[in-house]
Amino acid sequence: MNEKQKNKLPVFCSRLFEAKVERGITFAQLGEKIGRDEVWVAAVFYGQAKPNHEEITKLADALGTNLSNLSDFNDKSFFPDKGGLVEVPPTDPLIYRFYEIIQVYGYPLKAVIHEKFGDGIMSAIDFTARVDKVVKDGGERVKVTFEGKFLPYKKW
């Protein structure tokens, strides 16, 4: 997490990152301990997802931190600020590549989705994402899988 992001995040997110570093634990390991995917767990750390009380309790236990350090998640006034961390266009090279992929392949992907499903969108609410490491041709490759519910546009 860089300083710009840190300034945009709720204070308790910084506590999560500090505890994660102190514990030397990965998002995948945390996900296993609380029963969630590593991408969703990372979203919690960036204030993009809101865990319930049971998940907060398991997270505090997995991080070896006091539950009171994460109690702000229970505050009814806290709602995730989805998308508020990324500039457009993004300046981070890895995030920019996702932006570039959409610039180059956005309309081709849209055309294929429309051919297969009809006129509609892929939900970002009923959605999952996975990141896998694949070894191919003697090198490591990143495999990102997005899966979202298809939502057809309503006719009226």
23 is catalytic: no
Considering the candidates 54, 87, 123, 141, report the single residue annotated as catalytic.
Answer: 123
Amino acid letter for position 13: C
> Closest Cα partner for 56 from 45, 43, 46, 70?
70
Bridge partners for 129 per DSSP: 146
Considering the candidates 97, 130, 141, 147, report the single residue annotated as catalytic.
Answer: 97
> Closest Cα partner for 16 from 78, 70, 77?
70
- CB-based contact 33:63 (threshold 8 Å): no
123 is catalytic: yes
Considering the candidates 100, 130, 141, 147, report the single residue annotated as catalytic.
Answer: 100
32 is catalytic: no
- CB-based contact 63:44 (threshold 8 Å): no
Q: Is 28 helix (H, G, I), strand (E, B) or coil?
A: helix
Catalytic machinery residues: 97, 100, 123
